[in-house]
Amino acid sequence: MKDKVVIITGGNSGIGKALAFEFGSKGSKVVITGRNLEALQETENELKAKGIEVLALQADVTSKEDNQRMAEETLKRFGKIDILINNAGMSMRAYFEDVDVKVIEQLMNINFFGAIYATKSCLPYIIQQKGSVIGISSIAGFRGLPARVGYSASKFALQGFLESLRTEMIDKGVHVMTVCPYYTTSNIRFRSFTKDGSMQNDSPRNEKDMMSAEECAAHIYKATIKRKKFLILTLMGKLTVWLNKLFPGWVDGLVLNFIKKEGRPK
């Protein structure tokens, strides 16, 4: 990955920030985007302090114009785009019967259309480099989760897009990978939407028992080098995917009981 130009959307926190350090520490030139200017500048300074060459761009993944500007600014600074990591994302915690539909629309705009817009803007240049398009999905993209209906729907959509794109890109030599972390320490649960679109500001799970964002990023880096098609993380994540294929009705009950331990969303 030395001297590769890597764009990471949502690169100012969580898995995205960890990816910026992981790729940057291996010699990649990193472009990070995010809406929060303060967090973006803080991450930029931390990366520069480690000797990592970085371009930080305030951008909203739901904006076609911002995504086009992201690609243009990257080309202006580095002259190429090798890898795009569609990492920006949000979650939710509310049952469908309670949730305002606008929350699901927001999730689709961020988690799905954000990846569509970013990929559309960068793909011509990634094709030139025979590079990579990577999407950070979730186990929830294989197995629908109660109280995460909009999140799961967006991740199912993302995985369908990536599978189609991967097939289209075979003859062009472009690597397309779907990454499905299990529960990972990040700010995604604290910033989850509630039923009315407000922020949850708390996590219903024990964050200490989860894989760290740094460990997750290390797995993604290795899988990128190997040009894997799928990366499903943790034994529990793999079991969930395969058991759901074999025994979907049984897994329905298991998943419901697992989520019920969080308590009913407010």
Domains of the chain: 5-260 (3.40.50.720)
Which residue in the list 95, 117, 125, 151 is annotated as catalytic? 151
pLDDT of residue 205: 54
pTM for the predicted model, two decimal places: 0.92
Q: Report the C-alpha gap between 146 and 255 in whole angstroms.
A: 8
Reply yes or no on whether the pLDDT at 30 is more than 70: yes
Q: Would you call 151 a catalytic residue per the annotation?
A: yes
Reply yes or no on whether the pLDDT at 102 is more than 80: yes
pLDDT tens-digit series, residues 148-205: 999 999 999 999 999 999 999 999 999 999 999 987 876 655 678 899 887 766 655 5
**Alpha helix positions (H), the chain:** 14-25, 37-49, 64-78, 101-107, 114-129, 149-168, 213-225, 235-246, 248-260
pLDDT of residue 197: 83
Residue 61: is it exposed, middle or buried by C-beta count within 10 angstroms (0-12/13-18/19+)? buried
Give Cβ neighbours of residue 176 (< 8 Å, ≥ 6 apart).
132, 133, 134, 135, 162, 165, 166, 169, 229
- What dihedral angle (degrees, nearest 10) is formed by the CA atoms of 117, 79, 137, 112? 0
